[in-house]
Amino acid sequence: METLKFVKFKRKLKYSDIEKQLVDIIEKRIHDLADYPTLRVNPELVLLVANLTENGAVKGTNKKELVLKILNNVFSYSNAEQKQVDEMIDFLHANGKVKKVSFVKKAVAFCKDWLKRKLL
């Protein structure tokens, strides 16, 4: 059974697997918040999910639909709430609030982590 982990996904299955892993990670991160049920339509939570999706999704993924899917899985929105969240995502994106983490920040974090592992 352990030899099955060496068989890798290709093409569409690969993207589907990456998307599923991203959804699982983001949902877990939302559930880790102490009072997440009270944050149903909180703009800050929507922005967090949008930024996480922006930084984790692969090319060709419909990120807006993915954000809506994640939030709907966690909270089970009504039609009115789903429309409100949809408009909130559009607003955040139009005003430049959804951003990708820069390569420099990623490189600095990687170097710090590497130094910690080597020196400590």
Closest CA to 44 of 101, 85, 74: 85
**Structural domain containing residue 70:** 9-119
Query: Which pLDDT belongs to residue 79?
Result: 93
pTM for this model (two decimals)? 0.83
Residue 2 lies in a domain: no
- The domain total for the chain is 1
Residue 41 lies in a domain: yes
Q: Show the tokens assigned to 17.
A: 């697997």
Query: Which pLDDT belongs to residue 1?
Result: 60
Residue 4 lies in a domain: no
Residue 81 lies in a domain: yes
Residue 21 to residue 43: CA distance in whole angstroms:
24
Distant-in-sequence, close-in-space partners of 28: CB < 8 Å, separation ≥ 6 = none
Residue 28 lies in a domain: yes
Q: What is the mean pLDDT of each run of 10 residues along the chain (120 residues)?
A: 75 85 94 90 94 90 93 92 94 94 94 89
Residue 3 lies in a domain: no
Residue 31 lies in a domain: yes
Residue 1 lies in a domain: no
